[in-house]
């Protein structure tokens, strides 16, 4: 990265509980992995809180509902949470303000069978999709400025009767929202603008209810059975189809839209190279289910996480793949014990492919942390031991913040309630001088540093002494001149 050297001065400026509990199991067969939910009316009290990582910012304990879908928005400063089973609602937390929701929207009257949320990673727009018990599927848009009233509402026509937590995606600045719903035969994929207006749509044959969108909103990948289908959102033409073994995974797309990946009984990734899409990696495991795949922003790195269903879902394996060469950079794993399944929940990679996070349900003996953070060599660099099983997880694009939603107890046991965790990783930024996090070192980062100094924000600390002081100005200049 090239830039002019800089020397400069600066000025310093001063719900209701219904008693419903649940048990969840994963079943893997020839058709793939399915999540089975069972319900009972017996209430199980929350367990005592375990020891937490030192960098945990806060938790939000919910005695009734289970948070099962989360998204980090606005550069990681907003935590969007969809609560299910009881007191169904959408919440948004201003992370810096603590664990009191900044906005809440109840959908309790709809008694949704499924609820999911997504958010603009670099903007302030959250979307929630709900599947009411009377069949209506509704998508609503929210913002911090708009508060608890929806900015807009989009409703699928009555023949569409099923959606999932991952049936909604929002691009980086909130100008595009992708949603889908199933009518029993086919899936309707709809592209909305940031105001909820329909821009485009297409019908996909069969059941296709998980999707992911690139930062620009120009491409979306849909998990259609065992096929990851890539669409151009302007024309709704299918650009590429990547087939894996076994339905039920979750296809992902890189932030720049140049790569897609999907997992099942194997894991595969494809990239657009000189305008041509081609498969660049195929990996397998003898009895593995690849339940979590994620990509770096430039599509050059894949992080794949699998569990071994032949070992009672107790063995977990991780691999990092360089998609420019198709070679495995690092691979590692760990095992659990007991009768509870340690099923994979999801994986996330930061923008530059240096930080990777994996979430699993955890084993019966709690021998390993449920949230595990790795560097590119799969060294464990941070972790979070949650009280219950994670159901959803998100990572900010710079790799500094993790949002986790869990049940209050292990997924394989009956219990009510859940916990939302927000914590900052004990990982130094890869480029300190890039204060505004736009991936470039420019004079604009000086203004961003001054703003961080005045706000006493973490980006102010340029010399690594964990203090925001005038000495960090000299350190920022040195970091700027050193480049990234």
Q: Tell me the average pLDDT across 360-381.
A: 93
pLDDT of residue 37: 62
Mean pLDDT of 200-220: 97
Specify the pTM: 0.82
Q: Give residue 15's pLDDT.
A: 37
pLDDT band for 218, please (50, 70, 90 cuts): very high
Instruction: Assess whether pLDDT exceeds 80 at residue 28.
Output: no
**What does the pLDDT read at residue 208?**
94
Q: What is the pLDDT of residues 38-77, one digit of tens each?
A: 543 333 333 333 334 568 999 999 999 999 999 999 999 9
Q: Residue 296 pLDDT more than 80?
A: yes
pLDDT score of 23: 67
Please choose, from the candidates 107, 109, 112, 74, the residue with its C-alpha nearest in 3D space to the C-alpha of residue 91: 107
Is the pLDDT assigned to residue 22 strictly greater than 60? Answer: yes
Indicate the pairing of strand 198-205 with strand 186-193. Answer: antiparallel
pLDDT surpassing 50 at residue 128: yes
- Indicate the domain borders of the chain: 21-424, 444-482
What is the reported pLDDT for 53? 55
C-alpha to C-alpha distance for 98 and 83, rounded to whole angstroms: 18
Cα→Cα distances 28→165, 211, 289, Å: 20, 21, 8
At 428 the pLDDT is 55
Q: Are 230 and 238 in contact (CB under 8 A)?
A: yes
Assigned token pair, 215: 């930062």
Residue 92 has pLDDT above 90, yes or no: yes
CATH 2.130.10.10 for the 21-424 domain, yes or no: yes
């Amino acid at each position: 990265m090239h830039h002019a050297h800089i020397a400069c001065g600066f000025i310093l400026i001063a719900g209701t509980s219904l008693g419903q509990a649940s048990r969840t199991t994963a079943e893997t067969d020839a058709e793939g992995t399915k999540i089975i939910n069972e319900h009972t009316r017996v209430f199980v009290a929350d367990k005592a809180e375990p020891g937490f990582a030192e960098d945990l910012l806060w938790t939000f304990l919910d005695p009734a509902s289970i948070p099962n879908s989360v998204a980090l928005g606005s550069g990681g400063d907003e935590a969007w949470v969809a609560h299910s089973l009881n007191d169904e609602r959408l919440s948004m937390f201003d992370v810096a303000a603590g664990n009191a929701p900044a906005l809440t929207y109840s959908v309790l009257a709809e008694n949704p069978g499924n609820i999911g949320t997504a958010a603009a990673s670099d903007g302030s727009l959250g979307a929630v999709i709900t599947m009411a018990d009377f069949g209506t599927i509704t998508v609503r848009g929210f913002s911090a400025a708009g508060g608890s009233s929806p900015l807009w509402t989009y409703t699928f026509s009555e023949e569409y009767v099923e959606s999932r937590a991952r049936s909604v995606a929002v691009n980086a600045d909130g100008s595009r929202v992708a949603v889908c719903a199933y009518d029993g035969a086919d899936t309707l994929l709809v592209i909305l603008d940031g105001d909820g207006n329909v821009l485009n749509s297409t019908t996909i044959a069969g059941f296709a209810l998980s999707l992911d969108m690139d930062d620009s909103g120009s491409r979306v990948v849909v998990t259609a059975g065992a096929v990851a289908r890539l669409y151009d959102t302007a024309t709704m033409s299918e650009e590429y189809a990547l087939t894996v073994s076994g339905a039920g995974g979750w296809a992902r797309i890189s932030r720049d839209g140049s790569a897609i990946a999907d997992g099942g009984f194997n894991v595969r990734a494809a990239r657009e190279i000189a305008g041509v899409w081609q498969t660049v990696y195929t990996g397998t495991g003898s009895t593995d289910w690849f339940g979590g795949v994620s990509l770096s922003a430039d599509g050059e790195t894949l992080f794949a996480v699998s569990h071994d269903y032949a070992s009672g879902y107790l063995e977990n394996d991780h691999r990092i793949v360089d998609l420019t060469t198709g070679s495995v950079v690092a691979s590692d794993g760990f095992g659990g014990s007991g009768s509870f399944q340690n099923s994979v929940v999801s994986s996330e990679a930061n923008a530059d492919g240096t930080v990777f996070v994996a979430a699993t349900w955890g084993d019966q003996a709690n021998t390993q942390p449920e949230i595990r953070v790795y560097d590119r060599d799969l060294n464990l660099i941070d972790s979070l031991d949650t009280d219950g099983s994670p159901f959803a997880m998100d990572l900010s694009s710079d790799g500094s913040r993790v949002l986790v939603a869990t049940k209050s107890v292990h997924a394989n046991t009956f219990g009510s309630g859940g916990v939302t965790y927000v914590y900052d990783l004990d990982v130094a930024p890869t480029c300190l001088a890039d204060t505004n996090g736009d991936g470039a070192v420019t004079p604009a980062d000086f203004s961003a540093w001054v703003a961080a100094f005045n706000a006493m924000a973490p980006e102010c600390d340029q010399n690594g002494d964990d203090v925001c002081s005038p000495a960090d100005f000299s350190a920022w200049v040195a970091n700027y001149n050193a480049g990234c």
